[in-house]
């Protein structure tokens, strides 16, 4: 043997192209307020919110095997932290976003010790119970209007931006910033030794524990990150809505069902899945919006069909066909043959 017969690489040709496209897209989105109208901006803001929530849920369910049906607990929690901080502590709303993330992270640790006692599918319902408890407690918070909720006082709304346009721009940029931060955090976490250990376990039982990383603490880390992210996104959702109530803040349909469908349709356990899923979700929604409640039926049927016939989702199908890896997490082994390929 004259030299190493292999090289180790993470980047793929298509991942370099994807990076260029991602940066161009980011640039387009960042300058959005200068070229989009109000409705498009609102739509893009919502798109970013679902992209962030779906990426976080994918991190939990697709990589850590923690199928939560209760992430609305943290979305609502983030919303209530924002309203609480702004209304009673005089914290500027935008500053309340990281506070929502930090407090949610702190809260999610004791919660994780409870719900992690439930395995597999029972974990799912356990997280749902926690979300119900959060909602019931919020309903008891009389200063926040109890069960009927509360609107953000005008003075606080003005403090975000003096005009409506300025306010919506500020919220838009913050949403973009938080979503990009969430996506980078998810990507870095999956590339870290904790993320790689969890993927090793998911992909092969033999590899379990051999990486020297405690599976339990890796899962807990991912859970805490997912909860903090959901809370930050939650605070932004209700900053844009200017109004919060327990039923909207802790809605299982809005903050979990849609998110699960997005991830399943796009491709669960694949970092690209939520991106594809969110795009498809918005395309479907814009074309089927006049269907009303049947829209959810159609979406549910599509998700069930995908789970039955293409459990790796749309992106899984693409990957099987072309072998693309746009945002590679793991390293690949490339055997050097005589014919040095590209």
Contacts to other proteins by CB under 8 A: 61, 65, 67, 69, 114-115, 117-118, 120-122, 124-126, 128-130, 132-133, 136-137, 139-140, 252-253, 257, 260-261, 264, 268, 292-294, 296-297, 299-301, 303-304, 307-308, 311
**Residue 7 CB, nearest approach to other proteins (Å):** 24
Instruction: Provide the minimum distance between the beta carbon of 26 and other proteins in the complex, in angstroms, as a whole number.
Output: 31
Q: Give the shortest CB-247-to-other proteins separation in angstroms.
A: 10
**Distance between CA atoms of 159 and 53, rounded to whole angstroms?**
27
What is the CB neighbour count within 10 angstroms for residue 12?
16
User: Is the CB of 184 or the CB of 298 nearer to other proteins?
Assistant: 298
Shorter beta-carbon distance to other proteins: residue 118 or 317: 118
Closest CB to other proteins among residues 7, 294: 294
Task: List the structure tokens of 245.
Answer: 């109530």
d(CA 47, CA 20): 21
If the CB atoms of residues 27 and 114 are measured against other proteins, the closer one turns out to be: 114
- Cβ distance to other proteins smaller for residue 82 or 303: 303
Q: Which is nearer to other proteins, 14 or 132 (CB)?
A: 132
CB of 218 to other proteins, least distance (A): 18
92 vs 300 by CB, closer to other proteins: 300
Give me the helices (H) in the chain, please. Answer: 13-30, 32-35, 38-58, 72-88, 93-115, 120-140, 154-160, 164-191, 193-203, 215-241, 246-249, 252, 258-266, 273-288, 293-309, 313-322
DSSP secondary structure string for all residues of 49-98: HHHHHHHHHHIIIIIS----S-THHHHHHHHHHHHHHHHHS---HHHHHH
Report which DSSP code applies to 152: P
Shortest Å, Cβ 118 to other proteins: 7
Bridge partners, 150 (sequence order): 244
Half-sphere exposure of residue 150: CA atoms within 13 angstroms, side-chain side: 20
Q: How far is the CB of 192 from other proteins (least distance, A)?
A: 23
CA distance 181 to 43: 20
Q: Kindly state the smallest distance separating residue 124's Cβ from other proteins, in Å.
A: 6
CA–CA distance, 90 with 144 (Å, rounded to integer) = 15
């Amino acid at each position: 043997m004259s030299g190493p017969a292999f090289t180790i690489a993470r980047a793929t040709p298509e991942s370099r192209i994807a990076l260029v496209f991602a940066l161009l897209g980011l640039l387009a989105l960042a300058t959005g307020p200068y070229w989009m109208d109000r409705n498009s901006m609102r739509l893009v803001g919502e798109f970013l919110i679902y992209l962030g929530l779906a990426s976080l849920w994918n991190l939990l369910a697709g990589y850590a095997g923690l199928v939560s049906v209760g992430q609305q607990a943290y979305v609502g929690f983030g919303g209530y932290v924002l309203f609480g901080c702004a209304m009673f502590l005089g914290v500027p709303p935008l500053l309340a976003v990281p506070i929502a993330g930090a407090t949610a992270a702190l809260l999610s640790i004791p919660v994780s010790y409870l719900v992690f006692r439930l395995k597999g599918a029972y974990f799912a319902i356990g997280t749902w119970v926690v979300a119900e408890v959060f909602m019931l407690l919020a309903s008891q918070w009389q200063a926040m209007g109890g069960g009927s909720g509360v609107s953000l006082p005008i003075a606080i709304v003005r403090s975000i931006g003096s005009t409506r346009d300025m306010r919506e721009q500020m919220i838009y940029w913050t949403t973009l910033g938080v979503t990009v931060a969430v996506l980078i955090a998810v990507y870095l976490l999956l590339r870290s030794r904790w993320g790689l250990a969890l993927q090793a376990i998911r992909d092969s039982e033999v590899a379990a524990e051999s990486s020297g990383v405690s599976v339990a603490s890796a899962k807990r880390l991912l859970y805490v990150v997912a909860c903090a992210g959901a809370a930050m996104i939650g605070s932004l959702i209700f900053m844009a809505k200017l109004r919060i109530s327990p039923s909207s803040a802790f809605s299982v349909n809005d903050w979990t069902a849609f998110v699960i469908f997005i991830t399943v349709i796009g491709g669960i356990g694949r970092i690209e899945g939520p991106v594809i899923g969110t795009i498809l979700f918005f395309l479907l929604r814009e074309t089927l919006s006049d269907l009303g409640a049947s829209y959810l039926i159609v979406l549910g049927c599509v998700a069930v069909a995908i789970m039955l016939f293409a459990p790796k989702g749309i992106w899984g199908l693409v990957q099987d066909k072309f072998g693309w890896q746009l945002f590679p997490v793991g390293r690949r082994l490339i055997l050097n043959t005589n014919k040095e390929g590209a």
